[in-house]
Amino acid sequence: MARKRLAAVPVATAATFLVLLFSVVQHVPGGERFVTHVGVVKASLPLGVSLLRTPLSLYVPALDLPVWGALVQVFLVFGVAEIVLGRRLTLLIAYACTLAGTLFARFAVAIGPDHLFGFPRWVAHVRDTGPSAAVVALALCVAFRCRAWFTGAAVLAVMVGEAVVLPNLAGLEHVVALLAAALIAAAVEVFGDYWPRVLAGVAAATSIAAAASRASDARRHASAVSP
């Protein structure tokens, strides 16, 4: 960061710029309609449409919340995650956990308000966008990777407390995102270096076999030219 500045965290910089861009566009005349068609997800939409819009829905901030809060969250948490976890894993966690929350919304509406985690039909028409699910998921994964158990427990406690005190779709989606993040973090911990080790072993075996083949060819050549 000291040497490259923003170039050191291109994913966080791009994500912050997209949040700012969508915030500006959706407040100009005709902009909200454009943002709705490219990045707004609702449980009432067909599943295919929701899946297509989910990647951009992560960067569409809520209309009723200050955008500066989303910008600060995204830049700081995405930036730390990019440094600690790497760019690919950061994007994977952000999108996977956002998608988990999006799918949960459809499930909650489908089971209805008579169930513990169900919601009435009108919730299907509520705009379900924003980076918050990705932010809390990345925060938990970074805490797990750094063994910052107090920080991870604090994030989990705050999100669960929010879902209990203020039961709404966003709160439960945050909890679902945290559960998905915990599964990803555990899988990476167990299997993260498995395939790199396998590929390294294959590369080493190939190198040894090639060296043995060259040595054998050299011996045959020496035998053929010797008197």
Q: What's the pTM value of the predicted model, to 2 decimals?
A: 0.81
Distance CA 107, CA 19 (A): 27
Q: What is the mean pLDDT of the chain?
A: 85
Torsion, Cα of 151, 164, 109, 93 (10° steps):
0
Per-residue tokens: 19: 């949040």
- Give the C-alpha distances (Å, rounded to integers) separating 196 from 29, 181, 185, 199, 200: 51, 22, 17, 5, 6
Mutual angle of helices 87-111 and 47-57, in 10-degree steps:
140
207 or 36: which carries more pLDDT confidence?
Answer: 36
Could you tell me which CATH number the domain at 5-192 has? 1.20.1540.10
pLDDT tens-digit series, residues 202-214: 666 677 766 666 6
* Cα diameter, the chain: 94
116 band by pLDDT with thresholds 50, 70 and 90 = confident
